[in-house]
Amino acid sequence: MVLLFCGAMLALYFILCNARTLTRLPPGPISVPIFGSIFFLRYPLHCCFASLGKIYGPIIHLRGGVVDYIVINSITIAREVLITHDLEFAYRPASKFGEYFSYGFKDIALAPYGESWKNLKQITSRHVMSNTRLDGVAWMYELEMAKSIKAIHSSGDHAPVNLTDAVGKFISDAFCMILFGSTEVRVLDLVAQIGKQAINVNIGNLFPALDFLDLHGVNKTMKETLMPELEQLLTQVIGAHKQNKTRIESQGEEFVSRDLTDVLLSLESLPDISIVALLTVSDTTHFSVWNLLFAQDILVAGVDTIKWTAVWAMAEVLRNSRVMENAQEEVKNTIVKSQLVKHSELVNLPYIEAIFKEVLRLHPVGALGVPHHNPSKATLAGYDIPKHCTVLINIWAIGHDPRHWDEPEVFRPERFLGDQAKSNQELMMPFSAGRRTCPGIPIASRVVPFVVASLLHAFDWKSEGEIDLSERSSGTLSCMPASELVAFASARLETSVYAC
């Protein structure tokens, strides 16, 4: 019986290998019936895929359950997907989570490629995430950083500071201010719960035919609990803003947008915003779903991503005394001791900017990016790509590729300074590329360097023992630290600055 079973499995192996050859599929681990290649997978997935790349090459085919996956581990083939064949892979795989989160795939992150999506992205880049608009709200996160620095200082010199919590609170409060003009909107715990649903593996994604069973309870939780609560909360916030706008205009005064919710409401009256009229959440909701979805995308995708990038940055700076000395010397020579860092001064801090870029290379929080999808057959690197594949760009593997990076595991901001800066920048795609480039680049590239510059300007930092740079190894598709970051802070500025 054992021999018969072994013979059957051997025959199956040769059949599958032959099928892979005949169809010119990319190489990859063997796929067994029902389960596919899942027995070859380990957490963190981005590290596992990078290891498989050493065996099978820069493009891998595997099956997760009954779904075809293509994993790209090289910058060359990533460019082929995102630039050369951009249109063919400009779609997103559908899921019940995505459907509930985006009210039927209507947001920028998950909407299918088409006219509606193009309108949404154009509106976002032109009216919301423009440099002018973000310059106008910079004072909000400057104010929140002043509060954070005051809180750290009040704990006393050389007192332990949980930087994971401190950075997280700053990011949360800053984003609430930017979006809503207030830190009193109690939305972030709810957003964190939605984020957990988004990044944890769902068996329904591997076996779509079983998705209706909702074995992990993701669909029910999203549909019946989390999304109704979030919709109700954000609708109240948007409603209050709209009432304020109506009141001001009824008095014959000009309405001036203070936060991004005001901006979104102002867009409804512009003649070129035709998409707004097409999008409604439900019969009982009187506000554009785009207002709702934009806030959700920023909160769910932006808050955690920027928080963990800033935490990784501080962890690496604390671990590398040379980097900290160089960064603090730059800040000292640029920012006077009688004031805190202003957003407008970041342009004069190239080393801080290089720290940000090196963190994106070494610790990309969205290590596998947002999945791509090809509705039709395609060709990549000489291989046949079946239709309806889920395509993952392994951003982590690209940033750790020893063919392009000297000592890739070493944190070295100097890679992004001087003559090598431009060429090294072209070897990275931390925010994806092409049509589906992340629209949040402008705000991430402002806030993370601002956090690092502000904390290094205001305090000297020391750690007790070795900084733990290991990643969480299970239950998540993101690159997040396994341990909280704790360090000791001592004041560097004039005492009066901390009292502001």
Task: Please check whether residue 207 is in contact with residue 65, taking contact to mean a CB–CB distance below 8 angstroms.
Answer: yes
Task: Please check whether residue 218 is in contact with residue 204, taking contact to mean a CB–CB distance below 8 angstroms.
Answer: yes
Task: Give burial (CB, 10 Å; 0-12/13-18/19+) of 32.
Answer: middle
> What secondary structure does DSSP assign to 329-388, as a single string?
HHHHHHS-TTS---GGGGGG-HHHHHHHHHHHHH--SSTT-SPEEESS-EEETTEEE-TT
Domain count, the chain: 1
| C-alpha distances in Å from residue 119, one per residue of 96, 101, 245, 433, 455 | 24, 20, 25, 18, 39
pLDDT of residue 12: 46
More confident residue, 40 or 456: 456
| C-alpha distances in Å from residue 332, one per residue of 17, 280, 479, 494 | 61, 51, 32, 13
Mean local confidence (pLDDT), 292-309: 82
pLDDT band at 290 (very low <50, low <70, confident <90, very high): low
Q: pLDDT by residue (tens digit) across 463-491?
A: 988 899 999 876 566 788 999 999 999 99
pLDDT of residue 429: 93
With 60 as the cut, is the pLDDT of residue 14 above it?
no
More confident residue, 458 or 117: 458
**Beta sheet of 159-162, edge-to-edge order:** 159-162, 486-491, 459-462
pLDDT of residue 43: 86
Q: What is the Cα–Cα distance from 432 to 370, expressed in whole angstroms?
A: 8
pLDDT of residue 341: 96
Q: Helix, strand, coil: what percent of the chain each, to 5?
A: 55, 10, 35
pTM of the model: 0.89
pLDDT of residue 272: 53
Which residues are CB-neighbours of 101 under 8 A, at least 6 positions away? 107, 110, 194, 198, 222, 227, 296, 300
Q: What is the Cα–Cα distance from 172 to 163, expressed in whole angstroms?
A: 14
With 60 as the cut, is the pLDDT of residue 10 above it?
no
Neighbours of 89 (CB within 10 A): 27
Task: Please check whether residue 276 is in contact with residue 268, taking contact to mean a CB–CB distance below 8 angstroms.
Answer: yes
Q: What percent of the chain has pLDDT over 70?
A: 86
Q: pLDDT by residue (tens digit) across 84-122?
A: 999 999 999 988 888 888 888 888 888 899 888 888 888
For 52, the domain range is 2-499
Q: pLDDT by residue (tens digit) across 358-412?
A: 999 999 999 999 999 999 999 999 999 999 999 999 999 999 999 999 999 999 9
Q: What CATH number is attached to the domain comprising 457?
A: 1.10.630.10
pLDDT of residue 414: 97
CA nearest neighbour of 267 among 301, 242, 248, 303: 242
**Phi-psi bin for 34: left (phi > 0), alpha (psi -120 to 50), beta?**
left
Mean local confidence (pLDDT), 185-192: 79
pLDDT of residue 481: 92
Q: What is the Cα–Cα distance from 11 to 14, expressed in whole angstroms?
A: 5
* pLDDT-wise least confident of 45-49, 78-82, 128-132: 128-132
pLDDT of residue 215: 62
With 70 as the cut, is the pLDDT of residue 8 above it?
no
Mean local confidence (pLDDT), 262-270: 78
Task: Please check whether residue 451 is in contact with residue 170, taking contact to mean a CB–CB distance below 8 angstroms.
Answer: yes
More confident residue, 395 or 299: 395
Which residues are CB-neighbours of 225 under 8 A, at least 6 positions away? none
With 60 as the cut, is the pLDDT of residue 454 above it?
yes
Neighbours of 387 (CB within 10 A): 11
